[in-house]
Amino acid sequence: DVKVTQSSRYLVKRTGEKVFLECVQDMDHENMFWYRQDPGLGLRLIYFSYDVKMKEKGDIPEGYSVSREKKERFSLILESASTNQTSMYLCASSLGRASRYNEQFFGPGTRLTVL
């Protein structure tokens, strides 16, 4: 079974802090994604990556950056956390882009609170 792990289930940070959220997948998937999920807004894509060192902006990239130095690891960085970044953050991976291969496997999520 594919396993996607995230570094923390719960995180509390202060406004202005730099925050790192780590995601690791163990099935050699090409693609990795970062989403945030907020009540009434559904899942929104922040950034995604098709390959090592490659990244593409999603729908809401402002205030975030990402890093993919190794195929299995995709990091989300909040350069200067703000209260409106309080949310549930979900990492996902998929085998490929085409057709059924784009089934996404999700990590358990990180609930981030910014005070």
Partner 1 sequence: GQNIDQPTEMTATEGAIVQINCTYQTSGFNGLFWYQQHAGEAPTFLSYNVLDGLEEKGRFSSFLSRSKGYSYLLLKELQMKDSASYLCVLSGDTNAGKSTFGDGTTLTVKP
Contact residue for partner 1 among 5, 56, 113, 115 (CB under 8 A): 56
Helix (H, G, I), strand (E, B) or coil at 40: coil
> Per-residue contact track with partner 1, 79 to 98, x per CB under 8 A?
-----------x---x-xxx
Burial classification of residue 98, based on how many CB atoms lie within 10 Å of its CB (0-12 exposed, 13-18 middle, 19 or more buried): exposed
Are 110 and 102 within 8 A, CB to CB? Answer: no
Q: How far is CA 3 from the centre of its chain?
A: 15
106 part of the interface to partner 1, by CB under 8 A: yes
Contact residue for partner 1 among 8, 11, 22, 43 (CB under 8 A): 43
1 part of the interface to partner 1, by CB under 8 A: no
Candidates 11-19, 21-29, 43-51, 77-85; binding stretch for partner 1 (CB under 8 A): 43-51
110 part of the interface to partner 1, by CB under 8 A: no
